[in-house]
Structure 1
Amino acid sequence: MTVNQRSVVITLGFCGLVSAADNWFVSPALPAIAQTLAVAPSVAAVVLTAYLVPYGMLQPVCGAIGDRVGRQRLLRVIVLGLAISTVVCAAAPTLETLVAARILTGCFAAGIISVSQALVGDVVPAEERAGAVGLLMGITFTGQGLSAGLGGLITDLVGWRAAFASFGVLGLLAWLCLLRLRGISEALPAVEEQRSPLGEARDFLERAACLFFRQGRAIYLTACSTGIIYLGVYGFMGTFLSERCGLSSTASGLLMMFYGVACLVGGTISGRIAARGGLLRVIQAGEASGLCAVIFLAASTLTGSWVPALGAAACLGLGYILVQPTLVSLSMDVDPSQTGLCTGLIGLGVFAGGGVGSVLGQIAIGAGGYLALWTCAGVALVAQTVIGTCALARRERA
């Protein structure tokens, strides 16, 4: 990549970092939120779902809007909305109010990653795309890991409300960086005949359904299972470390920072793995790393020690960052004329899957504790490795 291309990718990565950090610093802060609002930590986990579901559901919508009105223009609006709504979360007096504020935040944040990914596709040539998307997502999910440590520290020292306010300020900084971004040329579609809102909505749903269930079915269903497994497991690590290992919010957050470090490392090496063995090899390496994470978590559960959880956080981050951006790169070839919608559907699968994973995780914990959760995740990963990889391989050969 040229210096200008790398600058664009890093700036967009910072915006993605803010959107990821805005949700995942909440995980180690859940016990404190639950105590303040007088609910059980497992009940407070609905705060994660409240963000992830709209965050995932609206990604294809934002991607399609970006295709029509300009991706850089849309990013400036939604990043500002994310910053403001995050500050609003800091003032929520009840769990219900906080959930409503998190839904609003998730709506604004929904398009940041998908639109940024499509914008990278505009700026970086196809042969450099996998590495560029890997770098973008590595920076993004470094924020997910680092925010856990920073959010836990702020929660312990000042409180979870101050943590929300701090990440709102970080969102404003990302917005200012976007305003300074120059040198992006976007090819907007020709103006079409004006249609009714109902006709526009029907056309959008038809195009999205065709891409999701027909043209890119193997890619998008793999994205769904990735979200359920990886994000579902990560969302419960904060409460697990507090309840089973006895760690404070700060200690839990610092441990979970290994997730972010692994994401950054994985983002830098994914392109090299793809160059040597192809994109499917990258996905297989990520799924193997995810299985290692589940084994480490099971060991931590059985021993009550936080030490194996260090390896779990690193393996989970490495596994996720190898799988998700690779699926994004594959999706861009499903329909090159609609890259925003194509990448947005990956977000739909992954992050809506993460919301579903939070719900399923609560059920698994209620039925058999954390060991049951890790066991279910391990079985699901094996199934994804066998079924998903075979489906993707058939698609590549077709």
Structure 2
Amino acid sequence: MGFTPAQRRTIYTLGFCGLVSAADNWFVSPALPAIASALGVAASAATIVLTAYLVPYGMLQPVCGTLGDRFGRLRVLHVIVAGLAIGTFLCALAPTLPLLVAARVVTGCFAAGIIAVSQAHVGDVVGPERRGAAVGVLMGVTFTGQGLSSGLGGIITDLMSWRAAFACFGALALVALALLLRLPAGGGSVAGGAAPAGEVADGEGRPVAQGGFLVRASRIFFGSHRAVFLVACSTGLVFLGVYGFMGTFLFERCGLGSTQAGLIMMLYGVMCLVGGTVSGRIGAAHGPRGVILVGEASGLVAIASLAAVAATGLWQPALLAAGALGFGYILTQPTLVSLSMDADPAQTGLCTGLIGLGVFAGGGVGSALGSRVVAALGYGGLWAAAAALLACQLVVGGRALAALARRG
């Protein structure tokens, strides 16, 4: 991939931090039935635990990205990874569902900036020409954790308890913090430099655009690259919304336990890693829009496979669903991140944070809306709605991204 040893060290260390933040949320999916049983609530009601993490996780990403632009990315990462560890241990101690939800909100607030700030820092470290490939590797490692944590979390939940699972992932967050503290401040950066005279500089010497936070965020989100950010919103709504329901769906429709469902969902992580390594080749052959189209088509394959599970009660199509969903997501989200950095190169932390806002807040909204759809129409209705939305994204979003490429 042409990275120096220092750059590779930075990419994989930050990827591990992202892995822990993704794992911290998504191991909960196969553990939801056990959590619901222990706390005396319905399994569908326990999905609020996912929403409680994802919504602040998405909403605060632009804030954390801006803080990283202003005060230095690694300094901000030290604080938020430490907060992630503390919040996860608090979840392990929560005696009731409301307190667990509150602890998840706290954890999501701290974890919010890990991916956005890491993506911006990696962009600084490798430079624009290798940014897409570096972000793809970073996100491949990150979301490998999302998939693998499902299996590991399910096993720990069955062998010990869901509280032990939270404690184990809290310990992983402490390991991530220790590795992060060992990174040099520069990380092999080929970008950056001093701010020009008269401009405000951030903690690493880059110029920071002026104006209030909401003004700057709105200018970027609704500016020339708005198609990128709007596609990010629908990506989170569909991909993360669908993934969040897989554990309870396989439990209720196929009778699978936490370990069995988690092992199936591990394929998501495996294909995230595969997708992260091949996204650069697809992009070189077909461009960023081609990468996104392949990702969206893979998402449709995943949803069709889940519909087959709903219709037959067989769990085997879920293997394809988990793998296709991971492959599709890891092609789509990092490509949107790379495109977003061109919206304002002076504020790449804010740009990547806005992608995180769209994707992860969208995932939280998808979990909340999905519960209503399941209650009204069942899982078949949920998969039909997800397929319709993703097909709309493929057509309408594809045209908008094509128009953006022509303007560029």
Match of 1:39 among 38, 41, 49: 41
Per-residue CA deviations over 1:344-398 (Å, capped at 9, x if unaligned) read: 0000000000000001111110111101000001101110000001001101111
The 4+ residue runs of structure 1 with deviation greater than 6 A are: none
| 2:254 aligned counterpart, secondary structure | coil
- Opposite residue 300 of structure 2, the aligned amino acid is L
**Amino acid across the alignment from 2:385:** C
CA deviations 1:304-363 (Å, max 9, x no partner) are: 011000000000000000000000000011100000000000000000000000011111
Structure 2 partner of 1:75? 77
Aligned AA (2:9): S
1:377 corresponds to 2:377: no
- The alignment status of 1:140 with 2:142, answered yes or no, reads yes
Q: Give the equivalent residue in structure 2 for 1:115.
A: 117
Q: Could you state the TM-score of these two structures normalised by the residue count of structure 1?
A: 0.96
Q: CA deviation at 1:202?
A: 7.1
Q: What secondary structure sits across from 1:334 in the alignment?
A: coil
Deviation at 1:4, TM superposition (A): 1.5
Amino acid across the alignment from 2:222: F
Query: Does the aligned pair in 2 maintain the 1:67–1:188 contact within 8 Å?
Result: no
Tell me how far 1:54 sits from its aligned partner. Answer: 0.3
The 5 A counterparts of 1:52-71 are 52-71=54-73
Does the CA contact (< 8 Å) of 1:67 and 1:189 recur in 2?
no
Residue type at the aligned position of 1:65: L
Counterpart secondary structure, 2:230: helix
Structure 1 segment 88-99 matched on structure 2, within 5 A: 88-99=90-101
Match of 1:163 among 160, 165, 170: 165
Change (3 A) 1:227 1:321: same
1:13 maps to: 15
> Quick check: 1:28 aligned with 2:30?
yes
- Aligned residue number for residue 279 of structure 1: 288
**Structure 2 residue aligned with 1:312:** 321
Query: How far did 1:3 drift?
Result: 1.7
State which of 152, 155, 171 in structure 1 corresponds to 2:154.
Answer: 152
After superposition, give the CA deviation of every residue in 1:282-306 in whole Å (9 maximum; x if it has no partner). 0000000000001100001111011
For residues 264 and 63 of structure 2, the distance between their equivalents in structure 1, rounded to whole angstroms, comes to 35
Name the CA distance, whole Å, in 1 between partners of 2:94 and 2:150.
Answer: 21
Cross-structure match for 1:85: 87
Q: Choose the corresponding residue for 1:299, options 296, 308, 311.
A: 308
Query: Contact 1:211 / 1:217 at 8 angstroms: preserved in 2?
Result: yes
Q: What does residue 212 of structure 1 align with?
A: 221
Residue type at the aligned position of 1:106 = G
Which runs of 5 or more residues in structure 2 are unaligned? 202-208
Percent identity of paired positions between Structure 1 and Structure 2: 66
**Counterpart in the other structure of 2:206:** none
Kept after mapping to 2: 8 A contact 1:20/1:144 = yes
Instruction: Name the structure 2 match of 1:197.
Output: none
Post-superposition offset of 1:254: 0.5
Distance 1:308 1:40 in 2: 26
Q: Choose which of 275, 285, 299 in structure 2 pairs with 1:290.
A: 299
Q: How does 1:231-270 map to 2 (within 5 A)?
A: 231-270=240-279
TM-score computed with the length of structure 2 as normaliser: 0.94
1:19 and 1:112 in contact (8 A); partners too = yes
Return the alpha-carbon distance in structure 2 between the equivalents of residues 192 and 118 of structure 1.
Answer: 18
SS at match of 2:183: coil
Letter of the 1:113 partner, please give it. Answer: I
- 1:25-44 superposed Cα distances (whole Å, 9 cap, x missing partner): 00000000000000001100
Query: In structure 1, what is the Cα distance between the partners aligned to 2:319 and 2:299?
Result: 13
How far apart are the structure 2 equivalents of 1:189 and 1:347? 27
Mapped partners of 1:178, 1:371: distance in 2: 43
Structure 1 residues 200-209 or 242-251, which shifts more? 200-209
